[in-house]
Amino acid sequence: MSWYDEAGLRLIRMFDPETGHGLSLRALNAGLVRLPGQITSPRLRVQLAGLDLPNPVGLAAGMDKNAVALGPLSRAGFGFLEVGATTPRPQPGNPKPRLFRLPEDHAVINRFGFNNEGMAAMAARLEKRPQGTVIGLNLGANKDSADRAADFATVLETCGPMLDFATVNVSSPNTENLRDLQGKEALETLLRGVLGVRDGLARPIPIFLKIAPDLTEAEIADIATVAGQVGIDGIVATNTTLSREGLRGGHAAETGGLSGAPLFKKSTAVLARLHAETGGAIPLIGVGGVGSGAQAYAKIRAGATAVQLYTALVYGGIGLVETILRDLEALLERDGFATVAEAVGA
């Protein structure tokens, strides 16, 4: 990390985590962060559910909840961006404080509760999105909705025309009973509703499903079965965890979803299990604890076509994206893989 990036991170850490997060987005928009532009090569380029990505390292949902920094983020080296989560109506989310740094663990705990400005504001910003960048939206449901399953389809109907992909998020632990929608019957109904809306778009887009890491092998098998039956385009494995195993940080007892380094082993195990259950027939996106080129490579070898990260940027800065990609390319070359696709599931 350069001294410039390190100084910026130190400054942001002087503020409470949620304020610091807002300042990081402002710094990006103000041009105060050095950005490498698009990073690609024949070895890094990858196809994900029909999407042509310059590289397999994407930004996970949560960093840019309301799509306020799409311009600079599109120049930060990522192969694709995911914004949101977005719900039909704006909602404030859970009471503050709701975001906690665990620097000893290189982790974060959040209990935001889908705080966002709603689908109308999101659609307005996506209409002005930068071209040449693959951009997707994390679909959510309002906390007080009478029909949460329908909310996902509603957001897609409004924002779908401006997107390259969308992710159905039924795995956040911060909206009460949301994870119940991962059950076999409920999930099939929800996904068929979303896919019906997708099929009605003038330009149909891939639909991904984001799942939790806190699943049994039987639940993973059920999700794989449903995904295959309804024709989902990809599975994002995984969201944050409720586990607190092995944490040292002072905020370890806070409720919410844990992300960052402690999630790596658990999420990668779910990813590998999904790859086995699906036989590689459904593209997988590996998320959880990616903070180095070696960890991105491990996700790919476990079955991921692409990976996403967010929490690692809290500790490594935006320049970490370029470092991960350069190291990943070197590892692929070392092991004789001409492309990322050759290494998937290896």
* Active site amino acids: 172
Using N-to-C axis directions, what is the helix angle for 184-199 and 217-230, rounded to 10°?
A: 30
Contacts of 158 (CB under 8 A, 6+ apart): 88, 119, 120, 122, 123
Pairwise CA distance, residues 317 & 237, whole Å? 23
**What phi, psi does 109 have (nearest 5°)?**
-115, 130
- C-beta separation of 51 from 291 below 8 A: no
CA torsion 199-201-202-203 (nearest 10°) is -70
Pairwise CA distance, residues 186 & 269, whole Å? 25
Pairwise CA distance, residues 138 & 169, whole Å? 6
Burial class for 10, CB neighbours closer than 10 Å (0-12, 13-18, 19+): exposed
